[in-house]
Amino acid sequence: MRGCLCMAIWEIFILAVGLSMDAFAVSICKGLSIKRMNWKGALLCGLWFGGFQALMPTIGYFVGARCYAYIERFDHWIAFGLLVLIGANMLREAFGENEEVDASFGVKSMAVLAVATSIDALAVGITLACLQVSILTAAVLIGVTTFAFSFAGDKIGNLFGARFRKKAVIAGGVILIAIGLKILIEHLFF
């Protein structure tokens, strides 16, 4: 990687940490939703979120800069909508008679969450193409970093949720809605 447009490995790592924060927060929420720690669930969180965080910038990279304006216009609305719907559902379940939170690690549940937390990574991939960054290096670093944060987030959420279940579910719903609002506000005003 030569030239002034390239990114150093440490810069890619910082980018990877930033991209993984949404997945980390959602993994905490998944951990809140289960009654007993399940290492398989933590592994699935890591694989789903890490995999999508690696896949989306790769897709964005190959789509190229010519589509950036089109993607940039609505990516924040998709992420906002999905996260608010999921967060609102958690709040509804916490305040309703049925206190069961979606503890599913099934394909349908995890795919929606993985897409919602990785939409911004698609636009980052287009940016990486413009900066002439090696997509293989970036995708692997982003995926591995997100895997680690998501795996740990599931465990952290489960430890917290075991003691304060209802409050933890409410906090998880609020966190998801806040992440959705953050994404929307950043894209609309900054």
Q: How far apart are CA 105 and CA 111, in angstroms?
A: 9
Q: How far apart are CA 178 and CA 144, in angstroms?
A: 25
**Banded pLDDT at 97 (limits 50, 70, 90):** low
Q: How far apart are CA 8 and CA 68, in angstroms?
A: 23
The tokens for 170 are 């409410």
Over residues 91-118, mean pLDDT:
74
Say what percent of the chain tops pLDDT 90.
18
Over residues 85-103, mean pLDDT:
67
Express each pLDDT in 120-173 by its tens digit: 788 788 778 777 788 999 999 999 999 999 999 888 888 876 566 666 667 777
To the question of pTM greater than 0.75 for the whole model, the response is no
What 3-state class would DSSP assign to 134? coil
CB 88 within 8 A of CB 178: no
Q: How many CB atoms lie within 10 A of CB 47?
A: 17
Express each pLDDT in 43-57 by its tens digit: 999 999 999 999 999
